[in-house]
Amino acid sequence: MLDFLWNLGSFIIALGILVTAHEYGHFWVARRCGVRVERFSIGFGRAIWRRIGKDGTEYVVALIPLGGYVKMLDERVDEVADEFKPQAFNRKSVWQRIAIVAAGPIANFIFAILALYLMFFIGVPSLKPVIDSTLAGTAAEKIQIHEPMQIMAVSGQKVRNWEEVNLALVGHIGEDSISLSLAPLDRLEGLDSREETYQLDTREWRFNPEEQSPIKALGLGVYSPEILPTLALISPDSAAEAAGLKAGDVLVAVNGQDYSGWDDFVEIIQHSANMQVALTIRRDAEQFEVDLVPKPSKAANGEIIGVIGVSPTQAPWPENMRLQLEYGIVDAFFVAADKTWQLTAVSFKMIGKLFTGDVSVKNLSGPISIAQGAGNSANYGLVYFLGFLALISVNLGIINLLPLPVLDGGHLLYYFIEVITGKPVSERVQEIGFRFGAALLLLLMSVALFNDFSRL
């Protein structure tokens, strides 16, 4: 319940910030084009706060925090007194109307740059993308790893951490090949001669993002510090807690066999749902046995597995694998702008791959997934929440630019047709377009919601 409330609160805050940025873009440009703005509302429905500004605009925060709007004076919607007609939206030139409509999505891209600027100025703790193995039968099996290797670039695009590797790989889904540039982790600065580039055949590269990352699906073995047999966390109301296990306990044996590693231990537990498992534990100087019964749980693939609610202790990350992405007051802006461009390019690529079939509609996410993402990023701290806001802001800007008549992109399409033909699109054609756009948007939202519920 607490997780639900945290995710919901984080989602409302994130949506409120992004909607405010989007609508303020419309508002700011409309005012500078001489349009009278009657209401600036964050949310829909009953107003829980309102104020009339000196400019005559009614500023509102409404009860339902699922969007917002800017109501402009428009003769097509309401009766307008003669003295106010020059301030009506419909009386403005087509280029002014284009500027006002486009300002919303543009504001989302500007906000993304600002959020990322603040994130990079504060500094983001990160890890270098280091691999220590490759999996047989995958696209990456041709890479021979004899020592930890750092991924330096993906198809020519330089990468600094795993997030950038993941983003770069996603952008190449559906392509015939991907190149990876690798270098030994301990290479000397400036000695690029030790960097090697591998061309991977990705024609058969397929993966389900709900079950694995593109990194793992490609066959890259991500380096991670040794997992120790010491228990770091015992979950409340778990089988481990019921059996009396405590943080700091050391695993010595499982079902009479010496402990051989965390992966083997997890496999035994997962295959023992509702079955008794005997653990030999060392606590301080004492060694004793504990019997427990793993609780059944449904995995992402639908399989029933056993869980006991424990987490292990991991050895510290080596210092040479740690990375602090932190930039000065000027450099942070250029890095943020470049990151926003990368997010935009990948998002457009993914939309195109939806139409070509390289990406399944099952990958569409709706408000539930976004709320979970908001909660998870907020849990990690401000810099990660800022990164999440930037990502969603870019996607909100792109979605609004789609040429669906109910979105900003649809209005822009009509206005550009007016620029070309010299006359407005007829009301009847616009009405048909709005109906079609609303139906298509409702269909996409339904698919996204269905995907969200299927992931619960």
Which residue has tokens 């429905």?
Answer: 45
Q: What is the pLDDT of residue 280?
A: 92
Rounded CA separation 49/8 (Å): 21
Per-residue pLDDT at 210: 64
Cα(384)–Cα(327) distance, integer angstroms: 16
Q: Regarding the domain delimited by 227-314, which CATH topology (the fold level of the hierarchy) does it fall under? A: Pdz3 Domain (2.30.42)
Q: What pLDDT is stored for residue 188 in this prediction? A: 46
Distance CA 119, CA 325 (A): 9
**8 A C-beta contact, residue 375 and residue 10:** yes
The pLDDT assigned to 419 comes to 92
Angle between helices 331-356 and 162-170 (to 10 degrees): 30
Per-residue pLDDT at 22: 94
Q: What percentage of the chain's residues is helix, strand, coil (to nearest 5)? A: 45, 25, 30
Pairing of strands 130-134, 149-154: antiparallel
| Among candidate residues 262, 382, 365, 377, the one with its CA nearest the CA of residue 315 | 262
Q: How far apart are CA 383 and CA 322, in angstroms?
A: 17
Q: What is the pLDDT of residue 360?
A: 66
Q: Is 230 helix (H, G, I), strand (E, B) or coil?
A: strand
Options 2.30.42.10, 2.120.10.30, 2.60.40.1930, 3.40.50.720; CATH for 124-225+316-325 is 2.30.42.10
Q: What is the DSSP string of 302-329?
A: S-EEEE--EEEEEPPPPGGGEEEE---T
pTM over 0.85: no
Catalytic residues: 23
CATH topology of 124-225+316-325 equal to that of 227-314?
Answer: yes
**Segments in the chain below pLDDT 70:** 1-2, 186-193, 208-211, 300, 356-364, 366, 448, 451-456
Residue range 12-64, pLDDT digits in tens: 888 889 999 999 999 999 999 999 999 999 988 888 999 998 888 999 998 88
Looking at residue 136, what DSSP letter applies? T
Domain boundaries, the chain: 104-123+326-456, 124-225+316-325, 227-314
Distances (CA, A) of 13 to 2, 16, 18, 450: 16, 5, 9, 24
Residues 6+ apart with CB under 8 A from 443: none
Q: How many helices and strands, by DSSP H and E, does the chain display?
A: 11, 18
